Amino acid sequence: MADATRGDEGSRYPKSEIMGKIRDAEEQVRQTLKAAEANREKAIAEAKREAIEVKESILEKARKSSDAAVQQAQAQLDREREGILNRAEADAARIGSVSASKIDRAKKHLLDELMRALDDKA
């Protein structure tokens, strides 16, 4: 029984037929392994693509959030700057009014002093 084996019905198969079946089985295993490797590579590529899409989506959301935060901060700064400018204009108007009043009083005082000095000389 070194070069043959018994089948299901008890018949003998020649060694070449058995070796052919073994080669066929080995080829089938190689093809199955090759297909499995191709499927694995395809799955890895798909997973990488999905990971890139998720990363890009997260980055886009972060950009939008950052842009919104910057716009909100800029709007707040604009409102504060407008308030500061309005207060500065009001202060300038008040200072101008006070200055005009003081200038008028100073003119009146100088005129009064001049008139008194002229009256004293006369």
Per-residue pLDDT of the chain (122 residues; tens, 9 = 90+): 444 455 445 558 899 999 999 999 999 999 999 999 999 999 999 999 999 999 999 999 999 999 999 999 999 999 999 999 999 999 999 998 889 888 989 889 998 988 888 888 87
**Ramachandran class of 49: left when φ > 0, alpha when ψ lies in -120 to 50, beta otherwise:** alpha
Sequence spans of domains, the chain: 5-121
Handedness of CA 50, 53, 59, 63 (dihedral sign): negative
In percent, the amount of the chain with pLDDT more than 90 equals 66
Quote the DSSP letter at residue 8: T
Query: What pTM did the predictor assign?
Result: 0.49
In angstroms, the CA 27 to CA 20 distance is: 10
Whether the Cβ atoms of residue 96 and residue 89 lie closer than 8 Å to each other: no
Give the helix ranges, DSSP H, for the chain.
15-121
| Contacts for 31-35: CB closer than 8 Å, 24+ residues apart | none
